[in-house]
Amino acid sequence: MADLSSNFVGIKSPNPFWLASAPPTDKAYNVERAFKAGWGGVVWKTLGEEGPPVVNVNGPRYGAIWGADRRLLGLNNIELITDRDLYVNLREIKQVKKNWPDRALVVSLMVPCVEEAWKAILPLVEETEADGIELNFGCPHGMSERGMGAAVGQVPEYVEMVVRWCKANTRMPVITKLTPNISDIRKPARAAHAGGTDAVSLINTINSITGVNLDTFSPEPMIDGKGTHGGYCGPAVKPIAMNMVAEIARDPETAGLPISGIGGITTWRDAAEFMALGAGNVQVCTAAMTYGFKVVQEMIAGLEAWMDEKGHRTLSDVIGRATPNVTDWQYLNLNYVAKAKINQDLCIKCGRCHIACEDTSHQAITSLVDGARHFEVMEEECVGCNLCVNVCPVENCITMEPLAAGTLDKRTGEVVKPVYANWTTHPNNPSAQVAAE
């Protein structure tokens, strides 16, 4: 049986599934329920500095997009950090940690960008016996207008500075949570690394408007006729988050820096993919907010079953396994030639592959053969783009078949070469390093 126990920057948890800092972790009541359901850890909802707590809007704070059967695909929120009193939160954190010593309890923090503010809050958190802190440099709305959250996370120098203050003022492990609302995610990661962070976590939410009400012409979620960009999360953001995790994982400057993967994780498979790309553990918010805490049971059972099936004994057998396979475009093998192939037994003759290729790609799929409705790839036209595979409604009906070295590519009239060759050496590349052949 696979061992799911996790040790992330010294913080131990029975499994790698943590709840991300958000409403599910805002109170002892929720967190107790989460631990009962089986979550390995939580990052407590972000605490702010001492004083009157922040206030939230009193109207809708969520917007969403859905698939056809109202399956929630993306969620957006304009909630701020915790709106409960700091000391109430700290008392609850201490009690919960005492009740659940085997679970990870990390406290998310966001205070103004001055060292005194951080110096003031860190001892209060240490006193709770929490396992670590997460610096919320991600919140994209509200808090950023006050010079916190993403306003810090978008300036690498500030990130490094705050991390440094924290490392200097606490013994607790520091996880730096990054905002995706930046053009190169490696910059803040490098800065956090330079400041001495123990890990980064990403992504926080993405600036977004989920919809526009076409009667009132107001953006959603709408408060009294107006809206503001909120933070986007849920299944829709997963591809973006995974790329960012991979970019950091394969950046030589941050090599080895632990990563807590966040963004759209809904199933065990999502979690396994994040970990394969280099995440040491994962955090979940929207899936729990959509289905309740029980979803973790599917995640645990699914991950276990997959690891057993593949013979992975511990999480370290999985973490980072896909990282070396993420590369730059220029290093992709241009001598790898694949052609689409339609399995006629599976084909239901909907014609989507044909019309996609015919109207928008390379006119490589028939629609009629000898007067009969028949869809077949014409190898002499197929560029192997994979579009038909993606639009076909039947799984595995169209597959991409690589041409073996030595076979003729009927489209180019050239024989597939047995050697790896990429753009850096291609004759069409004006700055090719080595002339091909």
Ligand X SMILES: Cc1cc2nc3c(=O)[nH]c(=O)nc-3n(C[C@H](O)[C@H](O)[C@H](O)COP(=O)(O)O)c2cc1C
Residues recognised as catalytic: 139
In the complex with another protein, which residue's Cβ is closer, 109 or 388?
388
Distances (CA, A) of 97 to 10, 125, 150, 170, 433: 16, 12, 29, 18, 58
> Which of ligand SF4, ligand X, another protein, none is residue 355 near (CB under 5 to 8 Å by kind)?
another protein
Distance CA 342, CA 397 (A): 6
> Which parts of 74-93 interact with ligand X (CB under 6 A)?
75, 77, 79, 81
Instruction: State yes or no: residue 403 binds ligand SF4 (CB under 6 A).
Output: no
* Intra-chain end-to-end CA distance of the chain, in Å: 52
One residue of 53, 153, 234, 384 binding ligand X per CB under 6 A: 234
> Which among 354, 348, 404, 396 has a CA at the least distance from the CA of 378?
354
One residue of 161, 394, 416, 421 binding ligand SF4 per CB under 6 A: 394
Please give the angle made by the CA atoms of 426, 432 and 437, to the nearest 5 degrees: 50
Q: Find the Cα–Cα–Cα–Cα dihedral 190, 194, 199, 200, rounded to 10°.
A: -30
Instruction: Say if residues 272 and 109 touch (Cβ distance below 8 Å).
Output: no
In the complex with another protein, which residue's Cβ is closer, 194 or 391?
391
For residue 148, the minimal CB distance to ligand X (Å) is: 11
> Which parts of 69-88 interact with another protein (CB under 8 A)?
69-70
> Which parts of 305-364 interact with ligand SF4 (CB under 6 A)?
340, 342, 347-353, 357, 361-362, 364
Q: Examine residue 203 and say whether the peptide bond preceding it is cis (omega within 30 degrees of 0).
A: yes
> Which of ligand X, ligand SF4, another protein, none is residue 362 near (CB under 5 to 8 Å by kind)?
ligand SF4
Instruction: State yes or no: residue 397 binds ligand SF4 (CB under 6 A).
Output: yes
Strand partners, 72: 66
One residue of 168, 255, 332, 348 binding another protein per CB under 8 A: 348
From the list 111-119, 238-246, 349-357, 404-412, the region that binds another protein by CB under 8 A is: 349-357
In the complex with ligand X, which residue's Cβ is closer, 29 or 420?
29
What share of residues in the chain are helix, strand, coil (percent, to 5)? Answer: 35, 20, 45
* Strand 62-66, strand 72-77: pairing: antiparallel
One residue of 143, 191, 242, 382 binding ligand SF4 per CB under 6 A: 382
In the complex with ligand X, which residue's Cβ is closer, 46 or 254?
46
Element (H, E) at 12: strand 11-13
What is the C-alpha radius of gyration for the chain, rounded to an integer number of angstroms?
25
What does the binding site for ligand SF4 look like in residue numbers (CB under 6 A)? Answer: 340, 342, 347-353, 357, 361-362, 364-365, 375, 377, 382-388, 392, 394, 397-398
